[in-house]
Amino acid sequence: MDVVEAESGEAFSSISRRDGRRIVSVGMDVEPERATSRVLKAINGEVLPRLRSDYPGITWSFEGSNAEMRESARKLWGGFALAMAVVYIRCWRWRSAVIRSR
């Protein structure tokens, strides 16, 4: 019975960082899907403690595509707020110019 199928690939062409820390994304597809909780339990109970003992200071988080979507949405709202501030300032200056010309 195959438990893991590893695929080798090329090395990273760039180093990804979040909050100044290097990050590596690891994905998995579990078949059958109902075994996902068992796989995560094994990872939390066996693999991650070994990694922590080998690499003190290592941290990890379990995130999906929702985390990337939240970060993108946060950046979009920040850009939207900036654009609205610029529009407000431009309208205010235009209004001031119109009032002065009367």
Q: What is the pLDDT of residues 72-84, one digit of tens each?
A: 888 899 899 999 9
- Rounded distance between C-alpha atoms, residue 52 and residue 9, angstroms: 25
pTM for this entry = 0.46
- Rounded distance between C-alpha atoms, residue 88 and residue 71, angstroms: 26
pLDDT given at position 1: 41
| Top-confidence residue, 75 or 15 | 75
pLDDT given at position 80: 93
Yes or no: say if 26 and 40 are a contact pair by the CB < 8 Å rule.
no
